[in-house]
Structure 1
């Protein structure tokens, strides 16, 4: 079943999240009409390959044109034509942006499908999708709209004062032009009285406008302090969660709208104050409120503009190597990485030559880390307008590269305090912003980075990135791993499930997480608030094993991603189950019932165990030696299940695997995953790789499971070796034990 069909079967709560993914950047009409084609393309690769992205854009437009030509409904054809034109206009200059948008939507669909397998959302995801947050945003929309309306009304009030003042000025100058002999007449006295009344009204209106401006600026100040800044911090927190596999990061366009509308209100108020300053040049008087109150209001406006724009300078895309797009915040020396900053305030007065400079470890305290780095490539670029993001200013650094500094006599200082993957670094961005006579120094920084020198350090680095972004929202806590806090299992289990939905397409269900929890916590797994230390998760070896819990789990993720994806996504791998639980599940099942689980003794291994019943009623369990990436490179796992054979004391080989637990016929479960047999090409007879194990029995031992040859053998190879009595296979005295 296609991913889009699965999406359409979700409950309404999850469908609302899907609806939130699609907008003008990627209309749902396209997702619906071209579902199969879209899911068959490699959008992830295209994100970092402009030429491939260009081809995909051309093909997408072609597919859309074909779909439009087949549409019978006139209105639908018209809408498709508009969409086609908009996409062409928006993405022709930068097709990789389109690839990123579509890839992100597809990944988020996978995550939503994964969450549907869970009986309930985890605590982190609940905190990101709750009614309080939506109500808060609606309230924010209302307040910003009310403020904009108040500022517009203030324009009318200032214009009214200007008209009133012009009328007063005209009458006053007309009175002054009269002959001095006429000034004592009754008519003149009446005119003077009228002018005094006009001046009183003018004074009242000036005081009224200034008072309303003061109230308005206090309202904007409160909006920024109590709502806008918290919304920005909430977005930054969601960015952290998205970085470690959580829900899709959304809301930046909404933030930009709030920031821009608030800035426009402030700049419009500043112009109104400037206008009032012009008015007192023509008419002023004793106790005139404008020269008394205007300086204070101007300072308040400048203060608010300064802090609004300063906080609007954000890292839109955290540093990431294109070679590992799903593991941001890990940088390998000598490998290019990308990052992007954005100014959320969109104003026509902006100096478009706004230069941004990036610096590595700018404010790192001396002695904090044992290694120091510098940016090898150009570290300064000019911000530009992005048409596809509603005209905001942004700049993307696509070719940054780090190099480690050399040390005299080879000493690094403080070496050994933290491991390489526990050292945190930071990338800073600086710019000088000038607008309407105001000069603002902008600065922001990335989330903490882990710098590695070898890909073997990548799993450890990713563990650090996950732990940090799970447990703190402080972007500058570079000493975090000097004393790392503990994590609750309820939090950590949710993040671990995200790793599987991100890297393997399907997250973990409640039962699988419970099995994982037992491995990590033992009997404490039932306590969702049980605390797990950083060392126990990533540094200490599992008792009796030469590797840590995280190294074991990460190796399984790699195995799924590279060799088991189809089987995993069909939900056929039980995965995390102990041998004891495995036997309890299988003992009452039909002979030949088997289940698939990950090896507990091998890094990145999968095994299967099947049940047999002897004539005496004895239950026997047989487990095959785990298949690792080396063995699975030779033969797809579904074909291993199909062709697996067991030789028992010279009896013709047979496949003992009959039913996938609990009772699914093997071919019914795996049939569509089998590779088709190669066609016969004269004069050769096609051969098939067959995984084989040997079971032998004798007077002193029970029938046992034996290791299958590595790599699997063709039938011809097996017969030849068997005839020569050189079949190289171990005979074990007991079933394979992990």
Structure 2
């Protein structure tokens, strides 16, 4: 079943999450109409390959035109034509952006499908869903709308006062222009009385508008303090979680709308106060409320504008190397990385270009880190208005690059206790501009970064990024790993499952997470609230092994991503079962029943174990030497399952693998994944790579080391192989017990 068909069968709660993925950047109409074609393309690779992205973009437009030409509904054909035109305008000059958008949508679909397979959501995802509750957003929309309505009404009130004052001013000046002999007449007395009444009315209206302004200003102040700032902090927290594989980050456009509407209200109030100041110049009197209240109100409005705009300066995209788009916040020296900042407030006209400067490790205390870096490339760019951002300013730095500072005599000076991947750094962004008489200094910073100098440090760096963003919402706690807190297994297991859904297309189910918990804590540990230390997760070696838990798990992720993806996504790999559990599962099964699990003794290895029954009722288990990335590069894993043979004491080789656990016939399970056979019309005699195991009579009692060389074949064995099959000697392996 295609991914899109699975999506359509989800419950409404999850379909609402899917709905967030699609907008003008990638309309759902395209996803629906080209579902099969879209899922068959390699969008992940195209993200970093401009030429491939260009080909896919052209092909997508061709596919869309084909579907449009076959559409019978006139309105639908019209809509698809509009979509085609929008895509051409948006992505023609940068098709890699389109590839990134589609890649992200497909990945998030897989994550949502993965969460649907779990019996319940993890604590992090639950808290995130609660934090973006629809009712809360609706309340915020209503409140911002009420404020905007009140400010608009005040505009009308100020205009009414201006008209009333003009009338008063005209009558007053007319009265003054009359002859002095007429001033004691009854008509004059009536006019003076009317002017006094008008002045009283004007005074009342001035006090009324100032009172209303005071109420609205207090309402905006409370809105910013109690709702807008918490919503921004919530978005930043969700950005942290999205960075480590959690739910897709949404809500920036909504935040932008709230910030902009609030700023527009404040700027409008400022103009209204300016207008009242102009009215005072023309007409004032004793106990005039405007000179008494206006200065204080202006200061409050300026203060709110200043802090609203300062807080709206955010990092929209955290620093990330294009070569590793799913592992942000890790920067390798000498490799370009990208980042993007945005101002969430749509400003009135700014009379000069707004330049943003980036600084690495700004104001970092001396001796805080053992390595220091500087930005090698241009670190200043001008903010531009993006069409899709409704006029808000943003700037993307696409070619930043770090270089380590040289030290005198080759010494780095302070050598801390932290490893390279535990040292945290930050990237700061600064700008300054003046708007409507206000000078505003903008500054924000990225989440803490890990800087590596070798790609081998990437797994350790990613462990640090995950741990930090899982356990703290502080934006710049660079001393975090001086005393890192523990994580509960319920938190950590959810994040680990996200890694599999992000990098391998399918997350971990409850049973697999339980197996991982036992791997980390021992079989008898209660995993639910078990506290995991940073050292146990990433630094200490697994007992009896030369690698840590995270290095073992990360190597499995790499193996799945590069060599096992089709088999993994079919849910055929049990994965994390121990040897003891494996035997308990297989002992009562039909001979030839096998299961697939990841090696516990090798980094990045997968093995299969099958069960046999002797004539005397004895149950025998055979485990093949783990297949690692080097061996899987030569032959797809599904073909290995299909063609696997065992040689035993001169007996004709046979495939012992019959049923995938629990009882699925092998070809029924893997048939769709087999490579097609060579064409029969090919002029050459076809050859087939066949994985071979040599089963000696003492193999069951004397396991051979996976590093030891295989003994030479006997002449009889060689003749038999030469007669029955062609194979590549590099694919031979041995049964053994891990």
TM-score bin (small chain): over 0.9
Cα–Cα, structure 1 residues 413 and 705, in superposed 2: closer, same or farther, change >3 Å?
A: closer
Secondary structure, aligned partner of 1:730: helix
Q: Shift of the alpha carbon at 1:514?
A: 0.3
SS at match of 2:654: coil
Q: Is the 8 A contact 2:687 2:726 kept in 1?
A: no
Q: Could you tell which deviates more after superposition, 313-322 or 406-415?
A: 406-415
In structure 2, do the counterparts of structure 1 residues 541 and 557 end up closer, same or farther at CA, with 3 Å as the change threshold? same
2: CA distance between counterparts of 1:484 and 1:667?
Answer: 49
Deviation (angstroms), 1:577:
0.3
Q: Deviations over 1:488-520 (max 9, x none)?
A: 000000000000001000000000000000000
Equivalent residues of 1:622, 1:735 under 8 A apart: yes
What secondary structure, in the 3-state scheme, does the structure 2 residue paired with 1:526 have? coil
CA positional deviation for 1:6 = 1.5
- Counterpart residue number, 2:262: 262
Tell me, in whole angstroms, the C-alpha distance in 1 between the residues paired with 2:236 and 2:712: 50
Q: Which moved more, 1:83-92 or 1:327-336?
A: 83-92
User: Alpha-carbon deviation of 1:723?
Assistant: 9.8
Measured in 1, the distance between the counterparts of 2:616 and 2:25 equals 67
Residue 527 of structure 1 deviates from its aligned partner by 3.6
Mapped contact 2:538–2:549 kept (Cα < 8 A): yes
The alpha-carbon deviation at position 219 of structure 1 amounts to 0.5
Q: Quick check: 311-320 or 173-182, which moved more? A: 173-182
Residues 681 and 603 of structure 1, relative CA distance in 2, 3 Å threshold: same
Larger deviation, residues 97-106 vs 340-349? 97-106
Change (3 A) 1:716 1:702: closer
Q: Compare 14-23 and 625-634 and name the one that shifted more.
A: 14-23
The Cα of 1:68 is off from its aligned counterpart by 1.4
Contact kept, 8 Å, 1:111 with 1:501, in 2: the verdict is: yes
Q: CA, structure 1 residues 698+227, in 2 after alignment: closer, same or farther (shift >3 Å)? A: closer
The verdict on how the C-alpha distance between 1:379 and 1:731 changes in structure 2, with shifts beyond 3 A counting, is closer
Alpha-carbon distance, 1:680 to partner: 3.8
CA apart distance, 1:57: 3.2
Q: Given the superposition, is the C-alpha separation of residues 352 and 93 from structure 1 closer, same or farther in structure 2, using an over 3 Å criterion?
A: farther
After superposition, give the CA deviation of every residue in 1:536-580 in whole Å (9 maximum; x if it has no partner).
Answer: 000000000000000000000010011100000000000000011
Q: What is the rounded CA distance, in whole Å, between the counterparts of 1:123 and 1:232 in structure 2?
A: 21
**Change beyond 3 A, Cα 1:284–1:574:** same
CA distance in 2, matches of 1:176, 1:737: 112
Mapped partners of 1:175, 1:711: distance in 2: 123
Q: Deviations over 1:217-248 (max 9, x none)?
A: 11001101111111011000001000000000
Question: Shift in Å at residue 134 of structure 1?
Answer: 2.1
CA distance in structure 1 between the aligned counterparts of 2:612 and 2:175, rounded to whole angstroms: 117
Whether the aligned pair in 2 keeps the contact of 1:690 and 1:715 (CA below 8 Å) is no
Counterpart CA distance in 1 for 2:472 and 2:70 is 53
Deviation, 1:36, is: 1.6
Rounded to whole Å, the distance in 1 between the matches of 2:294 and 2:210 is 8
Aligned twin of 2:35: 35
Question: CA 1:635 to 1:91, structure 2 compared with 1: closer, same or farther past 3 Å?
Answer: closer
Contact 1:459 1:554 in 2 (8 A): yes
Quote the Cα distance in structure 2 between the aligned partners of 1:95 and 1:635. Answer: 33
1 CA distance for matches of 2:218 and 2:352? 31
- CA, structure 1 residues 321+701, in 2 after alignment: closer, same or farther (shift >3 Å)? closer
Distance 1:578 1:701, change over 3 A: closer
- Which moves more between the two structures, 7-16 or 307-316? 7-16
Cα 1:525/1:352, change in 2 over 3 Å: farther
Asked whether the 8 Å contact 1:694–1:706 carries over to 2, the reply is: no
Q: What's the counterpart of residue 193 of structure 1?
A: 193
Q: Relative to structure 1, is the Cα distance of residues 736 and 438 closer, same or farther in structure 2, using a 3 angstrom cutoff? A: same
**Cα 1:361–1:708 shift into 2, 3 Å:** same
What's the CA shift for 1:2? 1.8
Cα 1:136–1:638 shift into 2, 3 Å: same
Of 696-705 and 7-16, deviating more is 696-705
Give me the whole-angstrom Cα distance separating, in 1, the residues matched to 2:182 and 2:416.
98
Contact 2:652–2:720, Cα closer than 8 Å, also in 1: no
Aligned equivalents of 2:345, 2:241: Cα separation in 1: 24
Alpha-carbon deviation of 1:608?
Answer: 0.3
TM-score by length of 2: 0.95
Shift of 1:5: 1.3
| CA pair 718-573 structure 1, distance change in 2 beyond 3 A | farther
Deviation of 1:698 (Å): 6.1
Following TM superposition, by how much is the alpha carbon of 1:37 offset from its aligned partner in structure 2, in angstroms?
2.0
Alignment check: 8 A CA contact 1:691 1:709 kept? no
Partners of 1:688 and 1:715 within 8 A in 2? no
Q: Determine the C-alpha separation between the residues in 2 that align with 1:44 and 1:284.
A: 69
Does the residue aligned with 1:653 lie in a helix, a strand or coil? strand
The separation in 1 between residues aligned to 2:376 and 2:409, in whole angstroms, is 22
Aligned in 2, Cα 1:666/1:397: closer, same or farther, shift over 3 Å?
same
- Please say if residues 691 and 712 of structure 1, whose CA atoms lie closer than 8 Å, have aligned partners that are also in contact: no
Distance apart, 1:60 and its partner CA: 2.5
Matches of 1:223 and 1:713 in 2, distance apart?
81
> Does the aligned pair in 2 maintain the 1:564–1:637 contact within 8 Å?
yes
CA drift of 1:66 comes to 2.0
| Cα distance change, pair 647–332 in 1 and its aligned pair in 2 (3 A) | same
> SS at 1:524's partner residue?
coil
Matched position secondary structure for 2:653: coil
Q: From the superposition, tell whether residues 91 and 679 of structure 1 become closer, same or farther in structure 2 (CA, over 3 Å).
A: closer
Aligned residues of 2:431 and 2:442 also touching (Cα < 8 A):
yes
CA drift at 1:611: 0.6
- Return the offset for 1:100: 2.5
| 1:478 corresponding residue in structure 2 | 478
Cα–Cα, structure 1 residues 322 and 267, in superposed 2: closer, same or farther, change >3 Å? Answer: same
Distance 2:624 2:360 in 1: 50
1:664 corresponds in structure 2 to: 664
Retained in 2: the 8 A contact 1:623–1:705?
no
Q: Which moved further from structure 2: 480-489 or 683-692?
A: 683-692
Contact kept? 1:624, 1:707, Cα under 8 Å: no
| Residue 730 (structure 1) shift | 14
Check whether the contact 1:707–1:729 (CA below 8 A) recurs between aligned residues: no
The count of corresponding residues between Structure 1 and Structure 2 is 738
Which digits, 9 at most, give the CA deviation of each residue in 1:461-508, with x for residues without a partner? 000000000000111100000000000000000000000001000000
- Cα distance change on mapping 1:730 and 1:412 into 2, 3 Å: closer
| C-alpha distance 615-586 of structure 1, shift in aligned 2 (>3 A) | same
Q: Which residue of 2 aligns with 1:514?
A: 514
The superposition leaves residues 360-386 of structure 1 with CA deviations (integer Å, 9 ceiling, x where unpaired) of 001211101100000111100111111
- Which segments of 5 or more consecutive residues in structure 1 lack a partner in the other structure? none
Contact kept in structure 1, 2:690 and 2:728, CA below 8 Å: no
Q: Is the 8 A contact 1:362 1:428 kept in 2?
A: yes
Alpha-carbon distance in 1 for matches of 2:699, 2:384? 82
Matched-pair contact (CA < 8 Å) for 1:694–1:708: no
Who is 1:395 aligned against?
395
How many angstroms does 1:711 deviate by? 15
* Contact 2:689-2:727 within 8 A present in 1 as well: no
Would you say the 8 A contact 1:690–1:714 is kept in 2?
no
Which secondary structure state, in structure 2, belongs to the residue aligned with residue 129 of structure 1? helix
Q: Shift in Å at residue 706 of structure 1?
A: 9.4
- Give the Cα–Cα distance (whole angstroms) in 1 for the partners of residues 725 and 93 of structure 2: 67
- Coordinate RMSD, CA, aligned: 3.0
Call closer, same or farther: CA 1:454–1:154 in 2, change over 3 Å.
same
| 2:379 corresponds to | 379
CA distance in 1, matches of 2:507, 2:30: 27
